[in-house]
Amino acid sequence: MKYFGTDGIRGRVGEPPITADFVLKLGWAAGRVLAEEFGEDATVVIGKDTRISGYLFESALEAGFSAAGIDILLLGPMPTPAIAHLTRSMHAAAGIVISASHNPFEDNGIKFFSREGQKLSDDLQSAIEARLEQPFEQVSPERLGKARRIDDAVGRYVEYCKGTVTWGTRLDALKIVVDCANGATYRIAPEVFRELGAKVIGIFDQPDGLNINQKCGSTHPGNLARMVTAERADLGVAFDGDGDRVVMVDHRGELVDGDQILFVLAAARQANGGLEGGIVGTVMSNFGLEQALAERGIDFVRSAVGDRNVHEALVERGWVLGGESSGHILCLDRATTGCGIVSALQVLEIVARSGRKLADLTAGMTKCPQVMINVPSGGNGRAVLDGNEEIGAAVRRVEDELDGHGRVILRPSGTEPLVRVTVEGFDSQQVQRLAEELAGSVKQVLTA
Catalytic positions, please? 101
Residue 53 CA to residue 20 CA, distance in Å, equals 10
**Which residues, listed in sequence order, are joined to residue 74 by a DSSP beta bridge?**
46, 149
Compute φ and ψ for 181, nearest 5 degrees: 60, 20
Provide CB contacts within 8 A for 128, sequence distance 6+.
4, 26, 29, 30, 33
Secondary structure of 101-116 in HEC code, one letter for each residue: CCCCCCEEEEEEEECC
Amino acid at 314: L
**Which residues, listed in sequence order, are joined to residue 95 by a DSSP beta bridge?**
45, 113
Residue 131 near residue 33 (C-beta atoms within 8 A): yes
Provide CB contacts within 8 A for 448, sequence distance 6+.
none
**Which residues, listed in sequence order, are joined to residue 96 by a DSSP beta bridge?**
46, 112
Amino acid at 372: M
